[in-house]
Structure 1
Amino acid sequence: MPESSEYVVVGAGLAGAATAWQLALRGHDVTILERKVPASHDGSSHGSARIFRYAYPDEFYTRAVIESKVLWDELDRTSGLDLITAFGAVDYGPERQPEHLARVLTGAGVEHELLSAAEARARWPHIAFDTSVLWHPGAGVIDAERSVNAMIEQAVKQGARLLTGWNVASVDKRGSGYCVISAAGEEIDAGNVIVSAGGWLPGLLGQLGLPEGFLAGLPEITVRQEQAYHFRYRTDEPWPTFIHKSAEIQTYGLPGGRDAGFAGQKVAEYNGGKFIPSAAAQTGTVDPDNLHRVVDYVQKYLPGLDPEPYAETTCLFTNTPTEDFLIDRSDGLTVLSPCSGHGAKFAPLIGQWAADLATGTGEVPARFRQATARISTN
């Protein structure tokens, strides 16, 4: 007879781990299924460096970061860890609109400064600013892998079970619940299922037994194999995280932490990778054209870095067209993610939203429930 669980969470990346943590905190019976190990290196939540920032052109997201930080602080207290390291952030470039970002932060009460390019160059001479610059010191870097493991640990302490090496192949509707079936033929009966499969979600959607109307109402989900590079610091000057957006290229950078041996800045082109059908099609091979673009960028805009990368990696971005998240539910099955390349900072809040939706105790913002919205208007 198959094992059973009140709630089954598929995927132990940041979003899945956060959901399991929130469900277990509420006293629910939770089983976490992970195809490899939590924060697996072929997923989207590995490594030690993700940007934590408040600056968004949409005030909704800035206020959501504020909510999320409360939960990050709670996780720090319960785990005894400091999962976000403060470095501050600079936002600049003609398409980044630092003045607008400053107005949003003012409205949300987030500490910041708006600097001229000359003022910013005097403070950070290792960066060649080309416009006015937004600086907010509360930004920093999330240790993604440790965060996943901390949330899993807290969930397990509350009674959740973690099963690794459990590759979900399908979810079948059975009676009032579901049967989750692995590629090896293992089965777990579940009252409710939360699917947080990241870049594997496109390949799983058709295997979840979701109603056709719900599937048709979901936003388009695309997966990119992204690249990131580590460049050595030429000086001992402190480096903030940054987002630079021009008409030609959008880049981001952050201190690389363990990922870079604490020796350099991680720099990448935002959504500069090639589209792939799903995470299963990733090659792990860096695109030479992308490497050339980023090296050229570093030579032009980041004089404080050695322009020869000493490390490189690929990763996955799973996107919706609007870059809004996907947190929606049909019957007892919740589809969670993609997080569109900016979800890490929201992970505890995404977990809270998903747990509210799965348990029926709360709602999530309507912008994350496009399928439900489309069904209700038809």
Structure 2
Amino acid sequence: MAESSDYVVVGAGLAGAATAWQLAAGGHQVTLLERDIPAAHDGSSHGSARIFRYAYPDPFYTQAVQDSKALWDGLALEAGKDLITPVGAVDYGPKRNPAQLADVLAGAGVDHELLSAAEARSRWPQIAFDTEVLWHPGAGVIEAETSVNAMVALAVRNGAKVLTGWRLERVERLGGAGYRLHSSTRETLDAGNLVVSAGGWLPQLLESLPLPAGFLAALPEFTVRQEQAFHFRYREDSGFSGASWPTFIHKAPDIQAYGLPGGRDAGFAGQKVAEYNGGPRIRSAAAQTGVVDPANRTRVVDYVRRHLPGLDPEPYAETTCLFTNTPNEDFLIDRADNLTIVSPCSGHGAKFAPLIGQWAADLATGNATVPGRFRSASTAALTS
């Protein structure tokens, strides 16, 4: 007879770990399945550096960051670990609209300043600002892998079971309510309720999930990219030595770049810089190669040379990661029958991890719903 669990969560990245933690903390019987290990190196939640920021053009997301921060603070206290390092953030560039971002932050009561390019250059001479600049000091850097492991540990403390090296092959619907999960090594596990938070593996897994045809047809198109990130050393010239580095988002006419202190991943020696959605498209995470695209490296190196004079423009480390995008960059947190799909997409989900876990757990248990913008599939299926 197959093992069983009231709730099975597939995927132990930031979103899956958060969901398992929230479900277990609510007193539910939970099993967390992971194809490798939590925060695996070939997923979307590995390493030490993700941006935490409040600046969004949409007030909905700024409010969600505020709600998430309260949960981050509680998580850090319960885990006894610092999970977000405050460094502040700058947003600039002709396509970033810092003034609009400042208006949103003002409406939300988030501390910020709107600076001229000259004012910003005097404060951060290591960055060649080309427009006015939004600065908000409450931003920081998330220790992603530590956060995943903290949430998994708290889930286990609350009774959850974690199975690693468990690669989901297919899911069958049982005669009554519930599902039977089959692994690639022919193990089985029965689930009364199933939550799939598989990151870049989701597009491929969808084919094996027993979801209603109308629900499947209404799901947004997922685009998986093998992103590239590069680490550049801080220059020790007298003009830049000891300068503090914020995170940044720069929307220039020819490239959208972002950067943040690289942290533990890069020996705390430099800034992690990448082109947003600059990597090649792949069918799913299973198709990733881990090989850096030379053309992307050339674009980012050229960007650093032109826009970040405080960095040595030769990368001393580089890596790949996964972005799973929806067309409008909204998340998907939706449910059909007892099967919940969670996809915190488009490269900006890390900062919302505890809140996404709360939303997903509430939806899976029926305790509450989630914002309607994340449930387009079920809404469309019901009205079709």
User: Could you state the TM-score of these two structures normalised by the residue count of structure 1?
Assistant: 0.99
Deviation at 1:337, TM superposition (A): 0.4
8 A Cα contact 2:203 2:222, kept in partner? yes
Residue 236 of structure 1 and its aligned partner are, at CA, apart by 1.9
Choose which of 334, 339, 353 in structure 2 pairs with 1:333.
339
1:11, distance to aligned residue in structure 2 (A): 0.3
2:180 — aligned with what? 179
Equivalent position of 1:364 in the other structure: 370
Q: Aligned residue for 2:212? A: 211
Q: 1:285 aligns with which of 266, 291, 300?
A: 291
Q: Which residue of 1 is the match for residue 193 of structure 2?
A: 192
Q: Give the TM-score, by structure 2 length.
A: 0.98
* Cα distance in structure 2, aligned partners of 1:101 and 1:198: 29
Give the whole-Å Cα distance in 2 for the aligned partners of 1:333 and 1:258. 37
Is this contact kept in 2: 1:87–1:239, CA < 8 A?
A: yes
How far the C-alpha of 1:377 sits from its partner, in A, is 2.1
Contact 2:227 2:323 survives alignment (8 Å): yes
Q: Contact 2:344–2:356 (CA<8 Å) still a contact in 1?
A: no
Query: Which 4+ runs in 1 deviate beyond 4 A?
Result: none
Q: Contact 2:195 / 2:339 at 8 angstroms: preserved in 1?
A: yes
Helix, strand or coil for the counterpart of 1:308? strand
Write the distance in 2 (CA, Å) between the matches of 1:346 and 1:368: 14
Local SS of the residue matching 1:237: coil
Tell me if 1:222 matches 2:223.
yes
- In the alignment, which residue of structure 1 is the partner of 2:379? 373
Question: What whole-Å deviation, never above 9, does each CA across 1:297-316 have from its counterpart, x for those lacking one?
Answer: 00000000000000000000
CA contact (8 A) 2:224 2:284 kept: yes
CA distance in 2, matches of 1:313, 1:211: 38
Structure 1 gap segments, 5+ residues each:
none
Deviations 1:247-292, CA, capped at 9 Å, x for gaps: 2100000000011100000000000001000000000010011000
Matches within 5 A, 1:124-273: 124-174=124-174, 175-234=176-235, 235-273=241-279
1:348 is matched with 354
Does the CA contact (< 8 Å) of 1:171 and 1:207 recur in 2?
A: yes
CA offsets per residue over residues 122-148 of structure 1, 9 Å max, x none? Answer: 000000000000000000000000000
State the alpha-carbon separation in 2 of the partners of residues 227 and 188 from structure 1. Answer: 36
The 1-side partners of 2:335 and 2:11 are apart by 17
Q: Which amino acid aligns with 2:333?
A: I
Question: Hey, what's the Cα distance between the residues in 2 that align with 1:176 and 1:358?
Answer: 14
1:18 matched residue in structure 2: 18
Equivalent residues of 1:320, 1:338 under 8 A apart: no
Structure 2: distance between partners of 1:277 and 1:375: 25
User: Given that residues 221 and 338 in structure 1 are in contact (C-alpha distance below 8 angstroms), is that contact kept between their aligned partners in structure 2?
Assistant: no
- Contact 2:15–2:344, Cα closer than 8 Å, also in 1: no
| 1:33-87: CA deviation from partner (whole Å, max 9, x where unpaired) | 0000000000000000000000000000000000000000000110000100000
* CA contact 2:10–2:196 (8 Å) conserved in 1: yes
Aligned-residue offset at 1:340 = 1.3
- List alignment gaps of at least 5 residues for structure 2: 236-240
CA contact (8 A) 1:199 1:338 kept: no
Q: C-alpha separation between the residues in 1 aligned to 2:46 and 2:193? A: 27
Cα distance in 1, alignment partners of residues 252 and 48 from structure 2: 27
Match of 1:59 in 2: 59
Does residue 93 of structure 2 align to residue 114 of structure 1?
A: no
The answer on whether the counterparts of 1:6 and 1:28 sit within 8 Å (CA) in structure 2 is yes
Which residue number corresponds to residue 74 of structure 2? 74
Q: In 2, Cα distance between the equivalents of 1:69 and 1:173?
A: 37
Deviation at 1:7, TM superposition (A): 0.1
Contact 2:89–2:137 at 8 Å: present in 1 too?
A: yes
CA-based RMSD of the aligned residues comes to: 0.5
